[in-house]
Amino acid sequence: MSTSTEETRGYDVIIVGGGPAGLSAALILGRCRRRVLVCDSGRYRNDAAVAMHGFLSRDGIAPPELRRLGREQLEPYGVEIRDVAVADVRRDAKRFEVTLEGGERLRSRKLLLATGLVDRLPDLPGLPAMYGTSVHHCPYCDGWEARDQPIGVYGQGCTGVALALNMKTWSDDVILFTDGPSSLSRADAARLARHGIGVREERIARLEGRDGVLERIVLEDGSAVERRSLFLKTKQEQGSELARKLRCKVTEERGVETAARHEETTCEGVFVAGDASKDVLLAIMAAAEGADAAFGVNCALQEEDLL
């Protein structure tokens, strides 16, 4: 097929996002001989992490290395990758028009959003230097490394209680820090006590440690509690506004919602994969959802072309 015809036709699919979800989708779609473009703005959710755990055959790999391998394995399939942000997206009856940062406009038949989430961390002095090293949000990702050590949990209300109980799977020594009056119900307070979980209600002054490793949590009254790690639940926002621009249904609880099989959203022709649609927020799940969405995209294209 001539280049000019291809330019008129545009891409079969533009994938926005080059994390595990986007790269996994690109691999399947490349192997389906689709004309695929991956746009990657280079802002990955796990930027702060030194190692990624729980990914079969890649346990403990550095996140950039997983992405490097992912990109390398796309090469035989002619998948195009551009390190650029997608600034805007619009659709007409048949096509999507994607505007890249810088103004270039591209067209595609389908769109796959693998744009992830952004975590908002609590404003605790000392925390940023330890995030990803000894301050974590996910026990499944980092609980093993904190096993049998003194663990702190930061959280309020039932969220804090649930996370503190959760951490008992990894250590007997768990203390819940509520950073202010806990307002725990009697039942919750009794449940924590029954499982040997202490509660500290004083406000936190700062986290202290060395080389990213937490040593103690200093409270505003000057007392300090020795801890080796702190687990907390982050507030999460969508990694991009593209789904909302396209009027896909997006909720705080479920992220970009899927409305049909194989990760198609409420907006026909727009698929979503990975953390952007909130399920179990693990990299291997993101990769699996990428493969599922790729299957959906290819089936939709086949239906248009062949049926």
Ligand X SMILES: Cc1cc2nc3c(=O)[nH]c(=O)nc-3n(C[C@H](O)[C@H](O)[C@H](O)COP(=O)(O)OP(=O)(O)OC[C@H]3O[C@@H](n4cnc5c(N)ncnc54)[C@H](O)[C@@H]3O)c2cc1C
What is the contact surface with ligand X in residues (CB under 6 A)? Answer: 16-22, 39-46, 48-49, 52-55, 85-86, 114-116, 119, 132, 138, 141, 239-240, 242, 274-276, 281-284, 286
Helices 63-72, 20-31: inter-axial angle, 10-degree rounding: 10
| Spatial distance between the Cα atoms of 104 and 248, rounded to a whole number of angstroms | 24
Least gap, CB of 199 to ligand X (angstroms): 26
Least gap, CB of 4 to ligand X (angstroms): 27
| Spatial distance between the Cα atoms of 32 and 12, rounded to a whole number of angstroms | 11
Neighbours of 115 (CB within 10 A): 30
Least gap, CB of 107 to ligand X (angstroms): 16
Least gap, CB of 254 to ligand X (angstroms): 14
Q: Which residues of 229-240 are buried (b: 16+ CB within 10 A; e: fewer)?
A: bbbbbbebebbb
Q: Which residues of 70-85 are buried (b: 16+ CB within 10 A; e: fewer)?
A: bbeebeebebebbeeb
Closer by beta carbon to ligand X, 138 or else 299? 138
DSSP assignment letter at 211: T
Least gap, CB of 304 to ligand X (angstroms): 25
Q: Distance of CA 76 to CAs 13, 47, 81, 249, Å?
A: 18, 27, 13, 36
DSSP sequence for 83-133: ---EEEEEE-SS-EEEEETTS-EEEEEEEEE---EEEE----TT-TTTBTT
With CA atoms as reference, report the closest residue to 296 among 110, 94, 156: 110
Closer by beta carbon to ligand X, 144 or else 268? 144
With CA atoms as reference, report the closest residue to 48 among 127, 123, 152, 113: 127
Least gap, CB of 143 to ligand X (angstroms): 10
Closer by beta carbon to ligand X, 20 or else 160? 20
Closer by beta carbon to ligand X, 116 or else 219? 116
Least gap, CB of 138 to ligand X (angstroms): 6
Closer by beta carbon to ligand X, 170 or else 218? 170
| Spatial distance between the Cα atoms of 118 and 234, rounded to a whole number of angstroms | 9
Least gap, CB of 154 to ligand X (angstroms): 15
| Spatial distance between the Cα atoms of 229 and 148, rounded to a whole number of angstroms | 11
DSSP assignment letter at 182: -
